[in-house]
Structure 1
Amino acid sequence: MSKYLVVVESPTKAKSISKFLGKNYKVMSSMGHVRDLPKSKLGIDVEDNFKPHYITIRGKGELLKELKKNAKDAEKVLYAADPDREGEAIAWHLKQYLEGNKDGEDPNADALCRVEFNEITKDAVQKAVKQPRAIDINRVLAQQSRRELDRLAGYKLSPLLWKKVRKGLSAGRVQSVAVRLICEKQKEIDDFIPVEYWSLEGDFLHEQEEFQAKLLKVQDKKAEIANEEQMNEILKSLEGVSYQVISVQKKQKKKTPSPAFTTSSMLQEANQKLGYTSKRTMQLAQQLFEGVSIGSTAVGIITYMRTDSVRIAPVAQEEAREYVSEHYGKEYCPEQPRIFEKKGHIQNAHEAIRPTSVQRTPASMKQYLTQPQYRLYKLIWERFVASQMADAQVENTAYDIQAGECLFRANGTVVTFPGYMKLYKNDKKENVLPDIKEGELVTLKKLRPEQHFTQPPAAYTEASLTKTLEKLGIGRPSTYVTIIETIVSRGYVSRRDKTFHPTELGIVVNDLLMEYFPDILNVEFTARLEDELDKVEDGSESWQQVLADFYGPFSERLAKAEEAIGEIELKDEVSDVICENCGRHMVYKMGRYGRFLACPGYPECRNVKSVDKDGNVEEKVIEESDIICEKCGSRMVVKKGRYGKFLACPNYPECKNIKSIDEEIGVPCEKCGGQLVKKRGKRGKVFYGCQNYPDCQTVYWNLPVEQLCPECGRHMVEKTNKNGETTVYCENKECPGNVKKAAEGKRGRKQVSEE
């Protein structure tokens, strides 16, 4: 029997930290949240001071029973969920359940049972379990307040959208503000009227060295050339004139490195430099935080990735400074550790995102990481180390060249000392100018007039939207990804060429909410609510008062809107795709499984096309198989349905024969030695059976791995939950090993790294 039970929220995290603790500790995973508000009803008693009614999340009952059994056997339970509001809430809910407390009541509230660490390393974990604290109820209430605010807004607004716009729609408190920002940006783009203007650049020579200069002034006024006629007048005035350098300006400038990443800056940089979506970046960062297998040990190689702090622990600063001095030279290390100032309300107990050890260089870690993991780790490592390096020094040079009534300017930049840029390079190239003295003449080689038109504002990308949300105070490190993924999945926004654009549905819903619920979409109001939640966390604001201040005006507006709004007819969004059957422009529709293209000539023309996430037509490629249809003798083709790929006869509808595709998983059947294959039932449910069926009737309902259960001899199975957390266990209900626990199981198929 273990003396301590340590509960974390992730199996991967459990596997990593269990190796750092001795035999007196047993580590188990809760597989994320264990309790939540019910999906089928509001779950909040507004009349009873907004009291929440929590229920056990479906599918967590058996797991909680197992946790409770182990908790009774242990002398003490330690809750080691992530160091943020969500982690604090998970710890509190687990404690409430395992100790049998009613909601809101905890006679043992001051118990020192909460363990928190910012990195999953041996030293950090062992230190944390020796310094438990009480659960921070204010942090729990801040999480609960956000959850209730989102539930009140979404649960009340969604039925209104069902009745007035379309069934199945939903609205979110913060997500709706993001949609508004994108709608407003799109309106700016649509309303933009291009204006013509011209520029003039010259190629010059000085002692056979070529350089460029741009027209800056005409008759001592800023050069503003509106059309070709004005440009021709300027070109005529320059005929036969000499070009003399009348001013030489050289300025030394220092460039300071950026601080180590916050969540927001990491999402932006990974999007811009690596092309990763916010969701992809956070998935990879979670993997790097929870543990990477290095030989026989799993260790977290970055600190916690949900943070708005730029603070760095002194020991990490010193390690970085020593590395810089040793590998780049003492001149690259500033005299004092570099400390960045915090901005606004941040959880400064957290650190910025950094490697847990600078000695784990990207090159040394590459063999243990997938390519996407490596690229993100390299970005994090270099950003952190560069943040502790010396300033870069550059020399900016400007030559003013007089030519009649025109003044040209040449600008050049030279790096005189690279400093941090030696590691974290700037994408801008140097522009080196020849050495010219004031008063010298230069030779004109060629003048290059060019016509331009002013450009509309750029549509939001993931990077710029995240930056705007952060700047406006909307959302927090734990919510940026959810905001973006939600507005896309709900069909309010589409991605085109990596930029966001509102759909017709998004515009209609935004207009409706703007008219009747301006506070919900008000940027300042939403940011102020975020500040109120921060005050709840630090204990200076009542959570019930925050909810009451929101819900009172909101419920009044809701009642008025239900009476005033008539049913809204949603216009179809016309595409550029022509229906090959009847020649009409196809339109975008929203179906149960997302957007698709349909012919507006329905029901006379029933042509439909699948589209990708950016709204582009997914071209159908006919993939023939080696399987012969036993009904008509044709070679069957591979089709894709709602449950994945299957075999179908190409002579449909004359022949309607279909077959499932059996996919080998590389694991042998323990009964007959045949291969286990992936199959689908009639309703699409995946299961795994022997290829020798019906002679062998071995079946598994979760993915089998090569590892055999030591108790019953069947294959262990692997199950992944919606959070991407994986558990390996024996699914034989009659086996004593039927306990869902983290285990090392070598999968019987190659893991392919995603780029």
Structure 2
Amino acid sequence: MEQVLVVVESPAKARTIKKYLGDGYKVKASVGHIRDLPEKSLGIDIENDFEPKYIVVKGKRKVIKELKDEASKSSMVYLATDMDREGEAIAWHIKEIVGNSRIPIKRIIFNEITKKALEEAVKSPMDIDINKVNAQQARRILDRLVGYLISPVLWKFFYKGLSAGRVQSVGLRLICEREEEIRHFVPSEYWTIEALFNSAKGEEIVAKLSKVDGKKPDIKDEKSAGEIIEAVKKTTPGVKSVAIKEKLRNPQPPFITSTMQREAANRLGFSAKKTMLIAQQLYEGVELGNEGSVGLISYMRTDSTRISDEAFQRGTEFLRSNYGEDVVNKGRRSYKKTKMAQDAHEAIRPTDCTRRPEEIRRFLNKDQYALYNLIWMRFLASLAAPAVYETIEVDISAGERFTFRANGRRLKKKGFLAVFPDSRAQDLEWLPELKIGEALTLKKIDPTQHFTEPPPRYTEASLIKELEEKGVGRPSTYASILSIIQTRGYVEKQKQTLYPTELGEKVWKTLEMLFTDIFEIG
């Protein structure tokens, strides 16, 4: 019986795919790239259109021999590497080395490792997308040129082993420039005033001074605050206006790579590198007892918030059955694309939303469970109705010059918060029933001194957001960039906050002095 050879990158992915394809298919792993640029030379012919000179990756000759042997026994070879540029390049390199004119070699792609997705992929094999390959090569060549030609300059100033990079050095620049802002920040004093009023029934209302002479208060010192307080005490306060409104809060879209990294950092304390490592495990397959290896999430390197029609229908039905009709959103949301989005794949979502995190918890380690639960909740929340709040805003006049404002909020309908609760869901204290023109009694009024604060240092989450907004790098590279600048000793992480080291600041100043244009932002 002739076999079909399927080549993937990792053994874990191979196990999951083999389970679904069954007999007649041999699934082998390349274990990442089999060819790359040489480590000890530039590997690029600058005089010949920047032609790359690839060599076999150290330790991969045995893998290549196995792939060639299996290909020679096969009637067809399917290259089933990941569906991004890197995966396309790995597939191309495999074809270049393993391929021969006798055996047809085709590319198959899938957004999730499920039986249905694989069957559809096998029915629709395609050629390698050479445009994707060229895009990957262009980035690889640029990275090599910048890193290989600039890093030795740093060795002359400091010591061997330091590196510069097209994106990593921009990340370092942002962190160093923020530190400079903080260092040179001069705080400014300002004051706020809060008052406690009583209604005719003795009910308490806490309100903040919101306007002086129709404008936002600008109280610069204690003397000015004291003068306002004395003036307020001489007035007879009363209710100026009462506004009760409904306010909708919509859910966030399902995760893309960068938002998953940011949310995992904020909610779980994960580094970007850790998040991507765990997401890879969930995508490639986790052993679920008698079910064997199961891919739990869709492909995790994506900049698209799109989901398939089938995923939308299954998710909506799951919400309806488990949370009630009121929680299901009326209609299907569309989300604005980010500036640099390729929109090539679906958003990150569970492959089967009926697979509740709690039901499979015993098969997952603590971190796998935490990330799967986060992805599961975010996906279902994106299909749910908005949360509905009732808000109340009361303005209190104190004479002609001063207005105080009190606010309250309470949740009327949970909507998506039934699926994905967060700290922002908390109610604000509701206000007593008040009527316009009702006289109030001033019971207490206090000034509070404040100082303006410098911009915050970056966390991994906020740096990823900044890089993405400025169009620097790709979400799939952020984890490695953050890892490199910390490993090199340029940046230290303390309680989730990124601080440049003395070395990091000196390295950036050197790069800024010598290579300003190369590491420009925007």
TM-score by length of 1: 0.67
Equivalent residue, structure 1, for 2:372: 377
Residue 243 (structure 1) aligned with residue 237 (structure 2): yes
The alignment partner of 2:145 has SS state of helix
Query: 1:383/1:220 Cα in 2 relative to 1: closer, same or farther (>3 Å)?
Result: same
Q: Quick one: distance in 1 between partners of 2:455 and 2:90? A: 43
**Shift of residue 59 of structure 1?**
0.6
Larger fraction in helix = 2
The alignment partner of 1:469 has SS state of helix
Query: 1:199/1:349 Cα in 2 relative to 1: closer, same or farther (>3 Å)?
Result: same
Q: Quick one: distance in 1 between partners of 2:62 and 2:120? A: 32
Equivalent residue, structure 2, for 1:167: 160
Residue 221 (structure 1) aligned with residue 215 (structure 2): yes
User: Which string of whole-angstrom CA distances, capped at 9 and with x for unpartnered residues, describes residues 242-267 of structure 1?
Assistant: 32111112232222211100011111
Q: Check whether the contact 1:117–1:128 (CA below 8 A) recurs between aligned residues.
A: yes
Query: 1:134/1:108 Cα in 2 relative to 1: closer, same or farther (>3 Å)?
Result: farther
Query: 1:86/1:231 Cα in 2 relative to 1: closer, same or farther (>3 Å)?
Result: same
Q: Check whether the contact 2:190–2:449 (CA below 8 A) recurs between aligned residues.
A: yes
Equivalent residue, structure 2, for 1:401: 396
> Which deviates the most, 207-216 or 298-307?
207-216
**Shift of residue 158 of structure 1?**
1.3
Report 1:338-487 matches (<5 A): 338-404=333-399, 405-428=401-424, 429-431=426-428, 432-487=430-485
Count of residues in Structure 1 that have an aligned counterpart in Structure 2:
517
**Shift of residue 112 of structure 1?**
5.8
> Gapped runs of 5+ residues in structure 1?
101-106, 525-755
Q: Check whether the contact 1:318–1:337 (CA below 8 A) recurs between aligned residues.
A: no
Q: Quick one: distance in 1 between partners of 2:314 and 2:352? A: 8
User: Which string of whole-angstrom CA distances, capped at 9 and with x for unpartnered residues, describes residues 401-420 of structure 1?
Assistant: 11233211011222222211
**Shift of residue 88 of structure 1?**
0.5
**Shift of residue 220 of structure 1?**
2.9
Equivalent residue, structure 2, for 1:144: 137
> Which deviates the most, 429-438 or 69-78?
429-438
Residue 200 (structure 1) aligned with residue 193 (structure 2): yes
Equivalent residue, structure 2, for 1:24: 24
Q: Check whether the contact 2:239–2:394 (CA below 8 A) recurs between aligned residues.
A: yes
Aligned partner letter, 2:114: T
Task: Work out which structure has the larger RCO, using CA pairs closer than 8 Å and 6 or more positions apart in sequence.
Answer: 2
Equivalent residue, structure 1, for 2:284: 290
Q: Check whether the contact 2:283–2:295 (CA below 8 A) recurs between aligned residues.
A: yes
- Residue number among 198, 204, 217 corresponding to 1:210 in the alignment: 204
Q: Quick one: distance in 2 between partners of 1:214 and 1:388? A: 38
> Which deviates the most, 506-515 or 145-154?
506-515
Aligned partner letter, 1:522: E
Q: Quick one: distance in 2 between partners of 1:161 and 1:254? A: 53
Report 1:231-630 matches (<5 A): 231-296=225-290, 297-404=292-399, 405-428=401-424, 429-431=426-428, 432-524=430-522
The alignment partner of 1:308 has SS state of coil
Equivalent residue, structure 2, for 1:40: 40
TM-score by length of 2: 0.95
Equivalent residue, structure 2, for 1:95: 95
Equivalent residue, structure 1, for 2:68: 68
The alignment partner of 1:412 has SS state of strand
Equivalent residue, structure 2, for 1:656: none
Q: Quick one: distance in 2 between partners of 1:265 and 1:304? A: 14
> C-alpha root-mean-square deviation of aligned residues, in Å?
1.7
Q: Check whether the contact 1:2–1:26 (CA below 8 A) recurs between aligned residues.
A: no
**Shift of residue 178 of structure 1?**
0.7
Amino-acid identity (%): 49
Q: Quick one: distance in 1 between partners of 2:454 and 2:316? A: 45
The alignment partner of 1:518 has SS state of coil
Equivalent residue, structure 2, for 1:552: none
Equivalent residue, structure 2, for 1:188: 181
Aligned partner letter, 1:408: F
Report 1:631-650 matches (<5 A): none
Q: Quick one: distance in 1 between partners of 2:150 and 2:335? A: 42
Report 1:120-131 matches (<5 A): 120-131=113-124
User: Which string of whole-angstrom CA distances, capped at 9 and with x for unpartnered residues, describes residues 433-483 of structure 1?
Assistant: 222111112333322321111111100001100000110111112101011
Q: Check whether the contact 2:79–2:105 (CA below 8 A) recurs between aligned residues.
A: no
Query: 1:210/1:280 Cα in 2 relative to 1: closer, same or farther (>3 Å)?
Result: farther
